[in-house]
């Protein structure tokens, strides 16, 4: 459970990522309807809600995969509502996906190195004019990738092809890959989905460790125990709207949350 002292400290933190009256509709369907919230520097914020609540669409809006119909997305105080995902990565926003898709035939270290930003070797002419610079950057990137694989307990498999990994190990690889871009905030899409209990403990520990290094997290998760253990605050969505926020214990007792889950596909203690 996130402790109260750390929650009080984070309440004073600056906003890393914000949504202001965000709406996204597809024809007559409002997937996200007038949602506003802040993700504070250094916190782990959970986003839960019954199936169809609009959580994934909200993530897509924040990441830049989908543009809002109206409203504003702010990243470190800058309006990024019209920017594509790759521009937001450059501003320090990283994202993982519920189903990781590493390049199966590349090694783990190669998969992680691909996420390095601003490599001189990406420009053809530089490879001819400054080969020593390119080589030095590649060595540095490989060492950084190896350090990140060590962080997520995959260094022993660094030179194995990604196809050998289990589902839980692929989640850890994706966490290392997103860290390669030095994000200030990471959007985690169901990190516990399809992961066995042993690897889930590893994932929880690594999220905590990365958070202690100063990285902010916003996560969608169906595993309420994981949310309770990790998150300083929890937001609850239902029918495209934000209906409640507070600690995990507070939102679990809120009548609006209980009603949303009882009217949906899941019970409060089972899914989000």
Q: Do 179 and 94 share a structural domain?
A: yes
Q: Do 40 and 78 share a structural domain?
A: yes
CATH code, 90: 3.40.50.300
pTM for the whole structure:
0.85
pLDDT at 269 over 60: no
Q: Do 160 and 131 share a structural domain?
A: yes
Q: Is 69 a member of any domain?
A: yes
* Pairing verdict, β 44-48 and 70-75: unpaired
Query: Per DSSP, what are the bridge partners of residue 70?
Result: 23
Q: Do 220 and 123 share a structural domain?
A: no
62-113 per-position pLDDT tens digit: 999 999 999 999 999 999 999 999 899 989 999 998 889 999 999 999 999 9
Task: Tell me what percent of the residues of the chain surpass a pLDDT of 90.
Answer: 75
Q: Do 147 and 29 share a structural domain?
A: no
pLDDT at 120 over 70: no
Q: Do 39 and 138 share a structural domain?
A: no
Q: Do 14 and 81 share a structural domain?
A: yes
Q: Do 130 and 96 share a structural domain?
A: no
Q: Do 96 and 80 share a structural domain?
A: yes
Which position has the token pair 């029918």? Answer: 239
241-261 per-position pLDDT tens digit: 999 999 999 999 999 998 988
Q: Do 137 and 9 share a structural domain?
A: no
Provide the domain limits for residue 190: 4-102+167-262
Q: Is 75 exposed, middle or buried (0-12, 13-18, 19+ CB in 10 A)?
A: buried
Largest Cα–Cα separation, the chain:
66
Q: What is the mean pLDDT of residues 179-189?
A: 95
Q: Is 269 a member of any domain?
A: no
What pLDDT, on the 0 to 100 scale, is given for residue 130?
56
* Pairing verdict, β 29-40 and 78-79: unpaired
Residue 64, CA distances (Å) to 93, 188, 224 in order: 10, 14, 27
The total number of structural domains in the chain stands at 2
Please state, in angstroms and rounded to a whole number, the distance separating the CA atoms of residues 124 and 117: 16
pLDDT at 240 over 50: yes
Q: Do 205 and 70 share a structural domain?
A: yes
* Structure tokens given for 202: 């590893």
Q: At what angle do helices 197-212 and 131-151 cross, to 10 degrees?
A: 120
Q: Do 94 and 125 share a structural domain?
A: no
């Amino acid at each position: 459970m996130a402790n109260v002292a750390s929650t009080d400290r984070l309440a004073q933190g600056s906003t890393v990522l914000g949504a202001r009256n965000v709406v996204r509709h597809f024809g007559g369907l409002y997937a996200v309807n007038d949602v506003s919230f802040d993700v504070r520097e250094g916190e782990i914020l959970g986003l839960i809600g019954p199936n169809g609540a609009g959580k994934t669409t909200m993530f897509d809006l924040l990441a830049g995969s989908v543009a809002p119909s109206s409203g504003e997305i702010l990243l470190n105080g800058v309006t990024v509502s019209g920017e594509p995902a790759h521009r937001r990565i450059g501003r320090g926003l990283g994202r993982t996906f519920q189903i990781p898709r590493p390049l199966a035939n590349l090694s783990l270290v190669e998969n992680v190195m691909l996420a390095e930003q601003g490599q001189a070797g990406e420009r053809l002419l530089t490879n001819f004019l400054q080969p020593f610079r390119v080589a030095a950057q590649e060595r540095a990137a490989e060492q950084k990738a190896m350090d990140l694989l060590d962080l997520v307990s995959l260094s022993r498999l660094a030179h194995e092809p990604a196809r050998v990994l289990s589902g839980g190990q692929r989640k850890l690889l994706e966490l290392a890959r997103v860290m390669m871009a030095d994000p200030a905030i990471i959007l985690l899409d169901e990190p516990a989905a399809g992961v066995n209990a042993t690897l889930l403990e590893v994932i929880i520990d690594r999220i905590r460790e990365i958070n202690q290094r100063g990285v902010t997290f916003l996560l969608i998760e169906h595993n309420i125990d994981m949310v309770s253990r990790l998150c300083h605050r929890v937001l609850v969505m239902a029918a495209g709207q934000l209906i409640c926020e507070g600690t995990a214990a507070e939102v679990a007792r809120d009548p609006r949350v209980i009603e949303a889950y009882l009217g949906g596909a899941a019970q409060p203690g089972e899914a989000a």
